[in-house]
Structure 1
Amino acid sequence: MSNSATDHATVPPTLWAVRGRHTGPAPEDVVRRTLRRHKESGDIDDFAEPPAAGDPGPRVFEARWRAGGTVTVRARLTLVPRQGRPQGHEWRLVAEAERPWDDAWPSPATLFWPDGGSGDDDGSWDHHPTVTGLRFRHVNALPEDDKEMRRRLRDAAREAWCVHVVVHEAMTPDERGRLPLARLLPPGLRHRVIEHRAAPQQFRGVNWALKDLGVEVPRGGAVLLPPDPAPEGYDGREHRVRNVFLDGSEPAELVAALRHFVALPRPLSRDAADALTDLRENWTLMTLQEQLERERRLVAMYADALEAMTKSRDLYKQAAEQALEALAAYRDVPPSALPQQRPGPRTPGALHQLTRTFERLKLPVWGRQQQEPATTTPSGAADGTGAPAGTPPPEDEKPA
């Protein structure tokens, strides 16, 4: 695991994000019916289904509501078909509020997906996106095999969208203790937590499986799996609960640990950052006032760009005029008044190299007129003077 989150953006306190997998057919129909029902009841102000950019496979849904009656929340759910295993549709849900998120607000998941009391809630939407067998809103028993348990917890710790909590049963619970703890959590935490349950006899095995993650669960207690990469200053002891009573009462210590964990400057995964950017930049469900403000921002942006272009044009024009003036002044100056550039002294090495270069050049002597050989004297024979044939006589022996 990584020990630093310096290269990752942190989760904004205004963000609520989770992702999962829908295993049934036509999940887009389920989302439409759920949103329509909440709009009719007044739980949400409006919703829309904008076209997804690029690949026609994904489906996008937007919804807005006022949490607590005053705080505007914008949410965006994206459905992506899965090609491999596990099959189904992966969904990603990001919601951003105007102020830091309050876990007493309704869970955005229940405004897009049915959550009890509805015929559409067949339990198809609350599956973990990558780890088969894990589900929200359920008690997820750890495997009996220690190596399989270790593999599951390691894979779960890599999931940065939700919080994983491991609970150890001090003794075999009754019917109330077998119910998931998620139902006792505040609404804002309920669908962001996956509960792993270890049986009483798995105490040593679960701590052996957690050793690589640097945490351990107390007997009869709970521990939150650390994020990967862990934020700076992270201390796993602050997210360990000594006792969790599985008697149907509210787990106050566990709720406090979860709130502290969610409030940390945790690293924001790349895909979560992309989903948040998509929400902010491609949002379409705007009111008339928001549309007017957006157009005003565009007009101001275009005005700034036009002013910058005008400034650049003026600067280029001024520079060109100065260059022309300098060129005209240079042409009016007589050559004698211009500074003469004197060549620098040549180094002996350079002169020697230049000499050697000229020596290597074998240039013919053009313009030298070749003499016709004498017809009576063989080529190369000496005449009476002892000079080779064809040699002109000296000046003093020439006839007058």
Structure 2
Amino acid sequence: MSNSPTERPTLPRTVWSARGRHVGPVAPAPEYVLRENLRQLKESGVLDDFTEPHHDGADPDGEVAPERIFEARWRVADGVTVRARLTLTPPDGRDPGHAWLLVAEAERPWDERWPSPATMFWPDTPVSAEPADTSDAAWDHHHVLPELRYRSVNALPADDKDMRRMFKSCAREGWGIHVVVHEAMTPDARGRLPLTRLLPPELRHRVIEHRATPHQLRAVNWALKDLGVEVPRGGAVVLPASPAPIGYDAQEFSVRSVFLEGGAEPTELFDAVRRYADLPKPPPQGAEEALTDLRENWTLLTLQEELARERRLVAKYREALEAMTTSRDLYREAAERANEALAAFREGAVPAPAAPEPEPDAPAASPFQQISRRWERFRDTAKALRPATETPRPPETAQLPETARLPETAGLPDAPGLPETPGAPGLPEVPGVPESRKTSDAAAETPADRVE
């Protein structure tokens, strides 16, 4: 088990909180005990006012509420007002009795001389060595360990392992204060009374006293070994929580001698209890939520408190309206600036080129034109597929001797005296050339050759 100091959330100094369990007979019911005690205190002038839950645990909507909530308001010294709320939870089937959670808040830091808020709700029955189990006195049981009680002496278990297990459970409940006292000898009847009855009212219902018999000293110190503390013979020790609160030192919270007989007040032990109560400790389970509910949903208001609450609501609504008005003005200014910027942009912007007009659709071709186009494509295709024909080359002219070549007479009149060749009119007959050759040459001659 960790015993190193650690910092945990705590409640303000103006708040008093405790948690317990009512373990007693079924009748009368715990809520009846609370209601009767609140009425008696109001009639006697101790309480200014109180509220009680609806009958049968029904809320205004008609649904059954699992919890009963009681509120009470009273004034202490110097006219300081205290507001308190007690939440009573019905049995859950696992633990016996009704669990209760009490949260009280004062207008200034809590004073240990002020009355305990627990006795403003529960009856403050006389304390005895053997507390009664009546319904009026059965409200002071521990929340986790119902066999332990706040206003009585709690004997330690006889078994060492049970004792060790009990101390570990007590250490886990960090908000409470547990004191182990060793009896050096068997005390008399007055010495068997709980020391918590001598504590200030503010601490009276937050401290649990454990008593060890003279022969249990060794077993007690063995069971406390995990917490790092020891009980001196005939002395006492304030047990640390787990983990221990910041500022806890086992030597400073250990008392070497406690006199139980004679009725003398153990000043040194009570001083250690006060110093431990001032250390930062976690609140009881659910106390933070209960405190928030007490502040926000408090219903027991005086006329002055109702007027102050309405004024706070009016101020809150005024602030909200001013915030909405400011937001509206800012939005309007932003919209005007945006419009001005848009207008300036439109004035200085270059006009975009006009889009080209679409060309009119061509008129549909007539059937005759379609046939003509198809025919032309067919004709072109046929020409492309026709095989190409070679142009016949003229026969090569036989190489004639220089003496056999004729002078160029194209364009000149026929010379007199030159005989005409029967095969080629106008050309002289060349000796040595056969007649067939002359005929073929004459046929191959073209008009261009004649012009030349």
Partner of 2:210: 196
Deviates more, 1:60-69 or 1:265-274: 265-274
| Displacement after TM superposition at 1:21 (Å) | 0.8
For 1:153, the aligned partner's letter is F
Distance 2:5 2:301 in 1: 39
Give 1:139-178 correspondences, 5 Å limit: 139-178=153-192
Distance 1:320 1:391 in 2: 77
Distance 1:34 1:390 in 2: 126
Give 1:296-315 correspondences, 5 Å limit: 296-315=311-330
Residues 1:313 and 1:116: Cα distance change in structure 2 (over 3 Å): same
Give 1:1-400 correspondences, 5 Å limit: 1=2, 3-6=4-7, 8-24=8-24, 25=26, 26-49=29-52, 56-68=65-77, 70-116=79-125, 122-247=136-261, 248-335=263-350, 392=384
The runs of 5 or more residues in structure 1 that have no matched partner are: 338-373, 375-388
Deviates more, 1:23-32 or 1:211-220: 211-220
For 1:299, the aligned partner's letter is V
Give the TM-score, by structure 1 length: 0.80
Distance 2:244 2:334 in 1: 54
1:212-232 CA-partner distances (Å, limit 9, x unpaired):
222222221111122344333
Residues 1:2 and 1:292: Cα distance change in structure 2 (over 3 Å): farther
Distance 2:199 2:14 in 1: 19
| Displacement after TM superposition at 1:121 (Å) | 5.9
For 1:283, the aligned partner's letter is W
Distance 2:330 2:308 in 1: 33
> Which has the larger Rg?
2
What RMSD, in angstroms, separates the aligned Cα atoms of the two structures? 3.0
Distance 2:174 2:335 in 1: 57
The runs of 5 or more residues in structure 2 that have no matched partner are: 353-377, 390-452
Partner of 1:361: none
For 2:144, the aligned partner's letter is T
| Displacement after TM superposition at 1:237 (Å) | 2.6
| Displacement after TM superposition at 1:170 (Å) | 1.6
| Contact kept? 1:168, 1:199, Cα under 8 Å | yes
Match of 2:90, SS state, is strand
Residues 1:263 and 1:110: Cα distance change in structure 2 (over 3 Å): same
Match of 2:336, SS state, is helix
For 1:47, the aligned partner's letter is F
| Displacement after TM superposition at 1:45 (Å) | 1.2
Distance 1:16 1:301 in 2: 30
Residues 1:233 and 1:261: Cα distance change in structure 2 (over 3 Å): closer
1:239-258 CA-partner distances (Å, limit 9, x unpaired):
22221111122111111111
For 2:75, the aligned partner's letter is R
Residues 1:251 and 1:117: Cα distance change in structure 2 (over 3 Å): closer
For 1:81, the aligned partner's letter is P
Partner of 2:366: none
Once the two structures are aligned, what percentage of the paired residues are identical? 62
Give the TM-score, by structure 2 length: 0.71
Distance 1:216 1:314 in 2: 71
Partner of 1:354: none
